[in-house]
Amino acid sequence: MQGHVHIKHFEHRGKNRYGFVFAYNNEITKLIKAAGGFWSQTHACWYIDANDKLLLKLTTQLEKTFGVRIELDEASAKNRSALVLDPATETYLLQLVSWMKSRRYSTSTITTYKEALHVFFQFFKTKDVREITADDVVRFNNEYILYRNLSHAYQNQFVNAIKLFYGKVIGSGMEINLIERPKTQRTLPNVLSKEEVKRILNVHTNFKHKAMLSLIYACGLRRGELLRLKPEHIDSKRNVLIIKQAKGRKDRIAPLSDKIIELLRAYFLAAKPKVYLFEGMKPGEPYDERSLQQVLKQAVKKAGINKPVSLHWLRHSYATHLLENGTDLRYIQEILGHSSSKTTEIYTHVSNKEIQKITSPYDFL
């Protein structure tokens, strides 16, 4: 791909934006739309919120992946350059990416670690990466993570990335055994009642939307697992769903009831998917993640449920309802694909099966 993209900084609808001006190109348009971009008739260009990290990510993709020449106005160039790391640090990051790929880390994990390290090294931009110490990590946690009130999980991602980088790429300088993880938090999973789940699954008139949400709940699937499914993964003779290369690169199976098989068979005959079980507007390509989230959001609104329900809530609800129905915790662990039983045991804390048997002393007053 050839050509150039001019990027301008402007205000639109009371917010700062980055506009992308270019001769019509479907691939560039798809990239900007996938990043949350919108078309402005007033400014005659596609635009994103003035997010400097996103700007750097998009311009890097356009330059390296598509070979596009980037032209930035003064404000955009200044903001982007503030986030660019020095060439030596970028080389180190590429070495980490190469090592992770050789070890078959998932694409999402590689991206997460690379982005975390980019933020970390940006914080210490005036310091050589080989001179950063464990004490600096403490300072980063206090002045960046805690100052911004970022989550426990987010902090843990940084620890994982830093330990891997200094253990496998630099190999010296940083005493990684001194880097402490944040204290473990126990947060209970969000669970819907069976009635709420029923309302969410039945409210959609679109057959594909109903089938997608129903299958997530019926088998306790993660979002990515649903979108990677292919028709051949449904074994209706054995009443099982085969989930290939899920989290941790593990295959597993989940039971399929006659009811969900009947729904999927009717959907398949109507949709006739080419490659993936659930495809987007273009045949042969998987359904878009963001669109799936919107499908759930619309269903929750139509069902009149005033909770910030996410797709993962359906997975949590599936596991909890299995437990309440008397399914052994070991089987739930296998179905969900948990490596540790401790992960599955969290559902015992939200199941109301035993709790409902407890009589409050208030009732005896």
Only one residue has tokens 């099966």, namely 353
In the annotation, is 152 catalytic?
no
Q: Which of 259, 227, 257 is nearest to 243 (CA)?
A: 227
Identified catalytic residue from 114, 130, 297, 312: 312
In the annotation, is 338 catalytic?
yes
User: Side chain identity at 193, as an amino acid letter?
Assistant: S
Residue 147: C-alpha distances to residues 90, 141, 363 (Å)? 26, 8, 46
Identified catalytic residue from 12, 114, 208, 222: 222
In the annotation, is 315 catalytic?
yes
Residue 140: C-alpha distances to residues 30, 90, 147 (Å)? 36, 20, 9
The answer to whether the CB of 150 falls within 8 A of the CB of 137 is no
The answer to whether the CB of 353 falls within 8 A of the CB of 323 is yes
Determine which helix (DSSP H) or strand (DSSP E) holds 26, and give its type and residue range.
helix 26-34
> What is the model's pLDDT at position 269?
92
Residues 6+ apart with CB under 8 A from 176: 134, 162, 163, 166, 167
In the annotation, is 347 catalytic?
yes
Rounded Cα distance between 83 and 69, Å, is 19
* End-to-end Cα separation, the chain, in angstroms: 78
> What is the model's pLDDT at position 79?
65
Residue 28: C-alpha distances to residues 5, 21, 38, 238 (Å)? 9, 10, 13, 45
Q: Which of 89, 345, 334, 298 is nearest to 199 (CA)?
A: 298
Task: Kindly give the confidence (pLDDT) of every residue in the chain, 365 residues in length, as a single tens digit, with 9 standing for 90 and above.
Answer: 457 888 888 888 888 888 999 888 888 898 899 888 999 988 889 999 888 778 888 888 888 777 888 888 777 766 666 667 788 888 989 999 999 999 988 888 898 898 889 888 888 888 888 888 888 999 999 988 888 888 888 889 999 999 999 988 887 667 878 787 777 666 788 899 999 999 999 998 899 999 999 999 999 999 999 999 999 999 989 999 999 877 767 889 999 999 999 999 999 999 999 999 999 888 898 998 889 999 999 999 999 999 999 999 999 999 999 988 888 889 999 989 888 888 888 888 777 766 667 666 766 76
Give CA torsion, residues 100, 105, 108, 109, to 10 deg.
-70
Identified catalytic residue from 17, 80, 223, 338: 338
> What is the model's pLDDT at position 67?
80
Identified catalytic residue from 53, 57, 247, 297: 247
Rounded Cα distance between 218 and 238, Å, is 16
> What is the model's pLDDT at position 101?
93
Identified catalytic residue from 118, 315, 316, 321: 315
Only one residue has tokens 């010296």, namely 172
Domains, in order of start, for the chain: 4-81 (3.30.780), 87-178 (1.10.150.130), 194-349 (1.10.443.10)
